[in-house]
């Protein structure tokens, strides 16, 4: 401990006179974020991705040069449940979980912490005594939930999830990914058993066609599913679709702008392509949402908020003459018109 303290003091002194380029700081933070995800999953195995800290060490020639970023990101600060609910990243993370698994609204926040500017971590547990537990690790820069740990979801000590058939395990994992990230139907899938003598462990990889690394990588051990988003942005935000509706044979670009909304697609639990396909059958967005027990007002709020935020950013965050509330009220009629609209081809039949 004495040596660690001396090293830390030396790095702090060096950090005062050195400036770490922003690009390298971001790479260190990203590497450490991945390291935290793997460390907190609690799974030991022979085949793993390269350690985040090892990757950072390769990138940085001297420890002193990396000191400013490392000193900051190695400090994890505990958070209370109240702090999580008012924290911007924490609140957004909870909203995503609640939309995907509505029953978690009654779960208790039993642990939470953050590494400033890098990652926010939240653990929720069912208060009814089932033991079901979610742990979420969110990238503080992007707001993306990069790692999810689901424990005790339907399994028992007598027959844990890992003792189920591979088909049953895949179905459980598919459900988790579909609800949290959107449709995974377009991904290639592979499963293998890890070389882990301590406890049976399965690794499930979901990859884009031709990709060398998986988009989602999942480990199943005992009654625990540990899923990581490896490939960057989630499917809905990356898959832009045109022609939800047409006007005189041309795409209605307003509808395209409104419906290519990651938050809307997450709320509906479907991809943009899936939404377009349902609209082509003559359904409206309101009808699609109602079938999923989602109210019209929820849909309006999500789309309107996104559009107003985009508009405010374009006005340089406040340069406009109207408040956010006024802008929301002004755009709601247009949103309502679009979500109640049906495909013109279908309506003529």
pTM: 0.53
pLDDT for position 62:
38
Question: If we measure between CA atoms, which residue out of 102, 141, 144, 143 comes closest to residue 124?
Answer: 102
What is the C-alpha to C-alpha distance for residues 165 and 172, in angstroms, rounded to an integer?
11
pLDDT for position 72:
44
Q: What is the DSSP letter of 17?
A: T
**What tens digit of pLDDT does each residue of 44-100 get?**
444 443 333 333 333 333 333 344 444 444 567 899 999 999 998 999 999 999 999
What is the C-alpha to C-alpha distance for residues 79 and 71, in angstroms, rounded to an integer?
19
**What tens digit of pLDDT does each residue of 242-259 get?**
888 887 777 788 888 899
What SS3 state is found at 221?
strand
8 A C-beta contact, residue 218 and residue 173: yes
8 A C-beta contact, residue 148 and residue 227: yes
CB-based contacts of 137, cutoff 8 Å, min separation 6: 33, 36, 37, 40, 119, 120, 121, 145, 146, 147, 148
What are φ and ψ of residue 84, in 5° steps? Answer: -60, -40
Q: Which of the residues in the chain have pLDDT under 70?
A: 1-75, 117, 155-157, 197, 232-239, 313-322, 344-349
């Amino acid at each position: 401990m004495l040596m660690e303290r001396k090293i830390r003091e030396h790095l702090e002194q060096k950090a005062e006179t050195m400036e770490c380029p922003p690009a390298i700081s971001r790479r260190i933070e990203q590497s450490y974020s991945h390291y935290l995800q793997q460390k907190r999953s609690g799974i030991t195995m022979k085949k793993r991705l390269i350690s985040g800290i090892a990757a950072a060490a390769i990138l940085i020639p001297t420890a002193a040069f990396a000191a400013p970023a490392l000193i900051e990101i190695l400090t994890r600060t505990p958070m209370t449940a109240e702090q999580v609910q008012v924290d911007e990243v924490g609140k957004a993370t909870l909203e995503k979980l609640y939309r995907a698994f509505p029953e978690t609204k009654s779960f208790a926040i039993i642990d939470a912490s953050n590494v400033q500017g890098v990652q926010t971590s939240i653990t929720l547990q069912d208060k009814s005594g089932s033991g079901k537990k979610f742990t979420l690790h969110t990238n503080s820069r992007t707001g993306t939930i990069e790692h999810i740990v689901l424990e005790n979801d339907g399994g028992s000590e007598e027959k844990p999830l890992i003792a189920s058939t591979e088909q049953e395990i895949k179905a459980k994992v598919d459900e988790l990914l579909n609800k949290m990230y959107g449709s995974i139907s377009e991904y290639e899938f592979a499963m293998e058993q890890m070389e882990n003598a301590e406890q049976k462990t399965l690794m499930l990889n979901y990859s884009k066609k031709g990709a060398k690394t998986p988009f989602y990588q999942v480990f199943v051990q005992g009654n625990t599913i540990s899923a990581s988003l490896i490939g960057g942005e989630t499917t809905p935000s990356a898959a832009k679709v045109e022609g939800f509706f047409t006007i005189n044979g041309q795409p209605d670009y307003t509808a395209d702008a409104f419906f290519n909304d990651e938050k809307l697609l997450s709320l509906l639990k479907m991809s943009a392509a899936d939404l377009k396909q349902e609209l082509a059958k003559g359904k409206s967005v309101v009808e699609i949402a109602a079938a999923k027990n989602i109210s019209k007002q929820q849909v309006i709020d999500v789309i309107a908020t996104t559009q107003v935020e985009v508009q405010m950013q374009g006005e340089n965050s406040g340069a406009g003459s109207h408040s956010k509330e006024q802008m929301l009220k002004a755009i709601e009629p247009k949103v309502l018109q679009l979500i109640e609209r049906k495909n013109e081809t279908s309506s003529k039949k």
